Amino acid sequence: MISRAYQHPLNGSRVPPGETLLDVSGITLRFGGITALDDVSFRVTQGHVHAVIGPNGAGKSSLLNCLSGLYRPQQGSATLHTRAEGRSTTTHDLVRMKPHRIAALGVARSFQNIELFRHLTVLDNLMLGRHVHMRHRLLPSLAWYGPARRQEIEHRELVEEVIDLLQIQAVRHTPVGALAYGYQKRVELGRALCLQPALLLLDEPMAGMNAEEKEDMARYVLDVHELAGVTVMLIEHDMNVVMDISNRVSVLDFGALIADGSPAEVSSDPEVIKAYLGEELSA
């Protein structure tokens, strides 16, 4: 099963469970006179499912864009901790790196709006998730001989495991644009998983789904977390899902962090309740 494919992650052994994998410190992002993120700080623990919640416009997607290199904040840092086998921990500040370098460190993401290559098949889209692992040059790869051929076969084996995990065998050769919305969301999760991430960033993976599709997606996220040992950071609006699958929850409101704790602590926090439900109007 897919756990076999994760025995040799890109950067050697990950930091041990319970240690800090990602340290977000003082992230501030402005667009002109608008502050999208205001001095946001929290930690993501190795082996956890860490949810980021908040009302629409709270800055959640902007935060993921800062962590994946699409935005560069004016202040702050996001330190990823990696540990190669037999060596001490190495730190990398993601907000100072380009997206392809962040991906090479084992950080993968999905998008709120599906960003797949619609004219390509499911299999082709998943194989694109292996790009950071490809080592042979263009000409041998185009000719598909010798080492290049062996390389593609090796990467295809991992992709097949992802296809089995997400139960998309029946549509493997179907162009993504012809698939139903729920399947497209599943393929986008699969493409991120094919990168063999140490940290998986999911931006509203269950948005627009019905109850059955949400249940399936929640199960896939948990399978990825438990079978592959991937630390997951996700944005989600469905509080039932967040409370069921998360180890820790961070809450944003108008770009500021207003709560950070266990699901039980956050759900009973007065500031969180106020942000979601508003204040009671006086008579």
Over residues 242-272, the pLDDT tens digits come to: 999 999 999 999 999 999 999 999 988 999 9
Architecture of the 2-118+196-276 domain: 3-Layer(aba) Sandwich (3.40)
Residue 141, pLDDT score: 54
Indicate the DSSP class of residue 121: B
Q: Are strands 49-53 and 231-235 parallel, antiparallel or unpaired?
A: parallel
SS3 247: coil
Task: Supply the pTM of this predicted model.
Answer: 0.86
Residue 279, pLDDT score: 56
Provide the residue ranges of all domains of the chain, joining segments of one domain with +: 2-118+196-276
Alpha-carbon Rg for the chain in angstroms: 19
Residue 185, pLDDT score: 92
Residue 6, pLDDT score: 47
Contact 194, 225 (CB under 8 A): no
Cα 4 from Cα 132, distance rounded (Å): 19
Residue 282, pLDDT score: 44
Residue 136, pLDDT score: 54
Residue 48, pLDDT score: 94
Residue 218, pLDDT score: 92
β-partners of residue 42 are 24
Residue 11, pLDDT score: 39
The stretches of 21-145 forming alpha helices (DSSP H) are 60-67, 99-104, 122-128, 138-143
Residue 274's contacts (CB-CB under 8 Å, 6 or more residues apart) are: none
Residue 7, pLDDT score: 43
CB-CB neighbours of 50 under 10 Å: 21
Contact 21, 46 (CB under 8 A): yes
- Regions in the chain scoring below 50 on pLDDT: 1, 3-12, 280-283
Contact 224, 200 (CB under 8 A): yes
Cα 37 from Cα 247, distance rounded (Å): 23
Cα 150 from Cα 141, distance rounded (Å): 10
Cα 141 from Cα 244, distance rounded (Å): 44
Residue 150, pLDDT score: 65
Q: Are strands 49-53 and 248-253 parallel, antiparallel or unpaired?
A: parallel
